[in-house]
Amino acid sequence: MAEDTGSKKRKLDDAGIMSHGDEAEVVITRRCETLWFEDGNIILVADGIGFKLYKGILTRHSPLFNSMFTLPQPNDSPTVDGCMVVIVHDPPDELEEFLLALYDSSASYFSNDKTLKFNTVKAMLSLGSKYDVDHIREEAIRRLRQCFPDELDSYVTPHTCYKIRKEGPEHYYLRSSVNGRLEDCIAAILLANEHHLDHLLPAAFYACAQLDNQTLIEGYLDDRSVRWQLSPQDLNRVLEGQRILRNRDIRAYQCLLDGTRVEPKDVGKACRHPGDMCISYMISSYVDLFEKFYTRHHALLDSDRLENKLSNWDLFCSACKKDVKTVFNGHRRTTWESLRTIFDVEVPAAAAETSAIAAGGGE
């Protein structure tokens, strides 16, 4: 059944979109040179910035714009360059990024060969959702999932991979096609909550746990000078999660006290040193590590840190080195699988239903 005029107007009001007839005067202080087509037939205006575009492309990809353009327009409505004018209440720079993704196929917004700034991805998600442009929204989600994945092996950051941490990478989320910094995890949590992207939250909360206290409390300014700040509830989740991560990190290092074996019955069986030499090395190493790391929250940092941080690592026999890394990485994976519990993040309804069916042997 076709929408009536009243329903269409309500949708446009909810989205903060109005035709020029709703305002006494349209003022364009500057043209967006990258999106001002001389043969365009519709003009969007955001905060005085004009975008002269092709109506057909907007209507093809955006149900919201399509609804607006099918509304009857007053005969005496003013125009600019003979074009209908639409006022939108979006940040002009975000609107430009969104429209470039929509209009400029050569910009490669949908290819991993092009690394996008985090702010660009945020604009694609926010405006792709607002204007119901599914392919732009889905591309933004795809890139965010690269930053905050479901699999530990895909989550490569300076706080999960020691070798990368040592090299000091240019951008934080190295397995992604997004040029972002650590602080962007705050924006990711807010966006995930707003757009119901629960799958991003575990990895995003872990990243937040690596931030300093000032940034956690005050938030941060992004490249557009917009401040992003955690809600009190999410801040509490991070602070409590930090406490749990510290304990889990210490527990992982306790493999050094346990003689490295996964099972107690196997302690010392493969050790190539006489007596308890390796175990004594491990105990002294544990004390050293505890002093260095008991205030840290990077429980997902891989076992490569052991050979760099244990002062007597070279004294361990090869079998015990292997065992230490095996046990350590086992603790690391357990922590990864527990992130939802650690940060009190609800399991999405669909995932919970699937788990319940699997546990019950259902269809």
Confidence class for position 313, pLDDT limits 50, 70, 90:
confident
- What is the predicted pLDDT for the residue at 243? 95
- What is the predicted pLDDT for the residue at 315? 83
Above pLDDT 70, what percent of the chain?
A: 76
Confidence class for position 249, pLDDT limits 50, 70, 90:
confident
Give buried/exposed letters for 171-196 (b at 16+ CB in 10 A, else e): bbbbbbbbbbebbbbbbbbbbbeebe
State yes or no: pLDDT of 363 exceeds 80.
no
Q: What is the largest CA-CA distance in the chain?
A: 97
Which stretches within the chain are classed as H helix?
A: 5-14, 55-61, 63-69, 92-103, 118-130, 134-147, 162-167, 184-195, 201-208, 213-218, 232-253, 277-293, 304-309, 318-337, 339-342, 349-360
- What is the predicted pLDDT for the residue at 314? 84
Judge whether 94 lies within some domain.
Answer: no
Beta bridge partners of 227: 221
Look up residue 2 and give its DSSP letter: P
Q: Are residues 305 and 219 in the same domain?
A: no
Look up residue 49 and give its DSSP letter: E
* Contact of 51 with 36, CB cutoff 8 Å: yes
Q: Are residues 158 and 190 in the same domain?
A: yes
Beta bridge partners of 220: 228
* Contact of 245 with 209, CB cutoff 8 Å: yes
Judge whether 25 lies within some domain.
Answer: yes
Residue ranges of E strands in the chain:
17-19, 30-36, 42-46, 49-53, 84-88, 116-117, 178-179, 220-221, 227-228
Per the prediction, the chain carries an average pLDDT of: 83
Judge whether 358 lies within some domain.
Answer: no
Look up residue 255 and give its DSSP letter: G
Task: State the residue for tokens 């209009």.
Answer: 103
Q: Are residues 224 and 302 in the same domain?
A: no
Question: How many H helices and E strands in the chain?
Answer: 16, 9
- What is the predicted pLDDT for the residue at 239? 97
Smallest CA-to-CA distance from 252 within 307, 309, 334, 150 is with 334
Residues 205-239 pLDDT 10s? 999 999 999 999 999 999 899 999 999 999 999 99
- What is the predicted pLDDT for the residue at 207? 98
Lowest mean pLDDT of 69-83, 90-104, 106-120, 233-247, name the range.
Answer: 69-83
The parent domain of residue 260 ranges over 242-340
Judge whether 107 lies within some domain.
Answer: no
Q: Are residues 161 and 70 in the same domain?
A: no
- Confidence (pTM): 0.85
Q: Are residues 219 and 276 in the same domain?
A: no
State yes or no: pLDDT of 170 exceeds 80.
no
pLDDT higher at 70 or 110: 110
Beta bridge partners of 80: 83
- What is the predicted pLDDT for the residue at 76? 65
Q: Are residues 216 and 282 in the same domain?
A: no
Q: Cα angle at 141 between 330 and 9, to 5 degrees?
A: 150
Above pLDDT 90, what percent of the chain?
A: 53
Confidence class for position 24, pLDDT limits 50, 70, 90:
very low
134-139 mean pLDDT: 96
Lowest mean pLDDT of 36-40, 269-273, 318-322, name the range.
Answer: 269-273
State how many domains the chain has.
3
Confidence class for position 10, pLDDT limits 50, 70, 90:
low
- What is the predicted pLDDT for the residue at 318? 82
Q: Are residues 25 and 128 in the same domain?
A: no
Report the relative pairing of strands 178-179 and 116-117 from DSSP bridges. Answer: parallel
* Contact of 76 with 24, CB cutoff 8 Å: no
Q: Are residues 79 and 122 in the same domain?
A: no
Lowest mean pLDDT of 10-19, 280-289, 294-303, name the range.
Answer: 10-19
Q: Are residues 197 and 269 in the same domain?
A: no
State yes or no: pLDDT of 340 exceeds 90.
yes
Judge whether 363 lies within some domain.
Answer: no
Beta bridge partners of 83: 80
Tokens linked to 252: 């992982």
